[in-house]
Amino acid sequence: MELTGKIIAVLQERGGVSRNGNEWKIQEYVLETMEQYPRKMMFNVFGADRIAQFNIQSGEVLTVSFDIDSREYNGRWYNDIRAWKVDRNVNAAPVAGAPVPPAAGAAVPPPVADPFNTPQMNPSNEADDLPF
């Protein structure tokens, strides 16, 4: 899966030593999409080599390829969104008022015909600013 957006937060890097005695590092980031109604996604990069390779900075516009996995711990489930590729060849933020394409992988439903010919609430055909 992949998502394009702006990095709005770079969280504290964490690390430790595994049971096998191997050192590990993980860095978390928050990406905000550039849609009319932006969404935020926290993802992580695992491994000191990948953290250095990706070199993600706050304010950058990126396309992040990631995998989603879930795990159970003490009866609770946790999601893990791990980046495996970062692409910086992304156009800058769209111009205000310009249509924004849906996120990659997002299904856009086809228009639904009204079988009952229900009158529309906005007969003047003006754009409505309400999100619902």
Overall pTM surpassing 0.85 (yes/no): no
Structure tokens at 31: 């990406």
* Long-range contacts (CB closer than 8 Å, 24 or more residues apart) made by 34-38: 34/4, 34/5, 34/6, 34/61, 34/93, 34/94, 34/100, 35/100, 35/102, 35/103, 36/100, 37/131, 38/5
Q: 18-62 pLDDT, tens per residue?
A: 999 999 999 999 999 999 999 999 999 999 999 999 999 999 999
Cα atoms found within 13 Å of the Cα of residue 129, Cβ hemisphere only: 1
CATH number assigned to the domain covering 2-87? 2.40.50.140
